[in-house]
Structure 1
Amino acid sequence: MRIQRFPWAGIRIEAGDTSVVIDAVTRIPAKFGGSKEPMFPLETFGRTDAVLVTHMHEDHFDPEAIIAAYGPDIPVYVPEQGVEAARAAGLRRVTGSRIGAAYELGGDVTATAALSVDGVGDPQVAWIVEAGGRRAIHCGDTLWHGYWWSIAAAHGPFDAACLPVNGAVLELPGRIPSGQPICLTPEQAVSAAAVLQAGVLIPIHYGAIHHPPIYRETPDIAARLEAAAAGRVNLNLLRPGEMLEV
């Protein structure tokens, strides 16, 4: 199994002749100030057999880019509450995923939808991809929750955990500010990876967005990750485009 990091929160997983992408986007919404890092057409990273989506936010679901790169008939798996929106966007082969359901994606690759908690209360799943005896999990933009132990018991250990790390604090119009992060902080991501018994933590969901006061990324991410992971979790700060074999 080979894991390639995309900009922002996306990844691509290759196993044999089969590949899948998760949360692959080519843009960051203007309301968040656009992207602070380069973005690329999805075809830059190669072909794929299926697209997995953790949730329907614009920085995780980019139907125009999916259609441009892979065509409208690429199989796309979204939380079941997002099926209508995905089809309305022009995607023709949309499957609504339910927690605990497993889907065969080709070759010996399977994807299982697991519990995840969205920071603003919208439907979200984590995706577990298995192939060739290897297992990786991608948790979208989850915040800290109490399901880590049950996920580990049911599906772990994991060879890799792709977890958000930017601890973003939001001040959205019409919502009372909480001052609390809506996704994992660096320290929380390390703790989650440890509970999941991950062979390596691959940080995602950082670097592209920092647009105060609407969206504030937590500071010193790399240094805090390295300090928290020392002696506890293997850490690999993949840059966009880089690939890791697990």
Structure 2
Amino acid sequence: MRITWWGHATTTIEENGTRLLTDPVLTSRIAHLRRRRGPAPLPVAAECDAVLISHMHADHLHLTSLTLVAPGAALVVPQGTARLIAQEFGTAMADRCIEVAPGNQVRIGALDITAITAHHDGRRLPWSSFSGPALGYRIEGSPSVWFAGDTDLFDELGAEAGPVDMALVPVGGWGPSLGPGHLDPVRAAEAVQRVQARAAIPVHFGTFWPIGCDWLKPELFLPPGDRFKAAMAELDPAVNVEILAPGESTEVVAP
């Protein structure tokens, strides 16, 4: 299996000719946020068989980026999202949506995908009435992968997501504060331990930052990746943590 991190929560998971693209942000800007590290993803990032959307927040369901994705790709989205897609783009794109809730399963090519719970606000916001469940996804491949989306710790996390070979786990955010429903580096390490992952790649850090705020709390921009690795080594040194730069890939093999 080949995993590429494009920055923030955008990854490509590729196995046996099937390509999944998570929470695509393929541009250099999201509203008041700009990409501070690395260029916008290469055009190859848009080539996929399916998109996995974890929730409706604009840095995960980025409407502009959806228009750049391969036109034949299925859109696996939280329940309630197809109506938003139809409003923005019409029925042709909405018809590509496969709406899911925790426990629902979808098969895309060679991969089986299960939607799992995420403890995070699933509303579109601001100025929108659209809402749906926030999700993570478990991808059954060789190896298996947990893509967390955005989540906080919750009691059933290990039972729903684990055990799993690889965790794509959020360790930070996109600004000078980290509100509820998110994992910081230490809590991300605990999440990885709960799902019994043997390897982890930190995501959702070191990519976007508010325009004009580069000077504000720089310790929350790049350091979360290294802090997660240190926290993971202290909590469970058997877990292999690989820190990627945007655009970098790694090959992951089953045990």
Aligned residues of 1:119 and 1:183 also touching (Cα < 8 A): no
Question: Does the alignment pair 1:65 with 2:75?
Answer: no
Question: Does the alignment pair 1:228 with 2:192?
Answer: no
Q: Which residues of structure 2 form unaligned runs of 5+? A: 124-130
2: distance between equivalents of 1:115 and 1:9? 17
Query: 3-state SS of the aligned residue for 1:68?
Result: coil
Corresponding letter in the other structure for 2:231 = A
Shift in alpha-carbon separation, 1:44–1:208, aligned structure 2, 3 A: same
2: distance between equivalents of 1:148 and 1:136? 14
Equivalent residue, structure 1, for 2:81: 82
Equivalent residue, structure 1, for 2:30: 29
Q: Which residues of structure 1 form unaligned runs of 5+? A: 172-178
Corresponding letter in the other structure for 1:243 = S
2: distance between equivalents of 1:216 and 1:84? 38
Equivalent residue, structure 1, for 2:127: none
Q: Deviations over 1:2-44 (max 9, x none)?
A: 211111111111111111111111234233x322223425623
Equivalent residue, structure 2, for 1:174: none
Instruction: After TM superposition, give the deviation of residue 129 of structure 1 in Å.
Output: 1.0
1: distance between equivalents of 2:64 and 2:147? 22
Question: Does the alignment pair 1:164 with 2:173?
Answer: no
Corresponding letter in the other structure for 2:77 = V
Equivalent residue, structure 2, for 1:14: 14
Equivalent residue, structure 2, for 1:101: 104
Match of 1:136 among 138, 141, 145: 145
Aligned residues of 1:25 and 1:42 also touching (Cα < 8 A): no
Equivalent residue, structure 2, for 1:175: none
1: distance between equivalents of 2:158 and 2:69? 37
Shift in alpha-carbon separation, 1:119–1:207, aligned structure 2, 3 A: farther
Query: 3-state SS of the aligned residue for 1:146?
Result: coil
2: distance between equivalents of 1:39 and 1:50? 23
Corresponding letter in the other structure for 1:64 = T
Question: Does the alignment pair 1:110 with 2:112?
Answer: yes
Match of 2:156 among 143, 147, 151: 147
Aligned residues of 2:201 and 2:243 also touching (Cα < 8 A): yes
Corresponding letter in the other structure for 2:26 = T
Identity of aligned residues (%): 28
2: distance between equivalents of 1:125 and 1:143? 11
Greater shift in the superposed pair: 200-209 or 112-121: 112-121
Query: 3-state SS of the aligned residue for 1:230?
Result: helix
Shift in alpha-carbon separation, 1:14–1:151, aligned structure 2, 3 A: same
Aligned residues of 1:43 and 1:69 also touching (Cα < 8 A): no
Instruction: After TM superposition, give the deviation of residue 124 of structure 1 in Å.
Output: 0.6
1: distance between equivalents of 2:217 and 2:181? 10
Aligned residues of 1:13 and 1:20 also touching (Cα < 8 A): yes
2: distance between equivalents of 1:226 and 1:94? 36
Q: Deviations over 1:145-203 (max 9, x none)?
A: 22222224xxx3211101110166777xxxxxxx8554100011111101111121110
Backbone CA RMSD of aligned residues: 2.6
Corresponding letter in the other structure for 2:245 = R
Query: 3-state SS of the aligned residue for 1:192?
Result: helix
2: distance between equivalents of 1:186 and 1:201? 12
1: distance between equivalents of 2:217 and 2:151? 16
Instruction: After TM superposition, give the deviation of residue 128 of structure 1 in Å.
Output: 0.9
* TM-score, normalising length: structure 2: 0.80
Match of 1:239 among 213, 238, 245: 245
Equivalent residue, structure 2, for 1:4: 4
Instruction: After TM superposition, give the deviation of residue 210 of structure 1 in Å.
Output: 3.4
Corresponding letter in the other structure for 2:113 = A
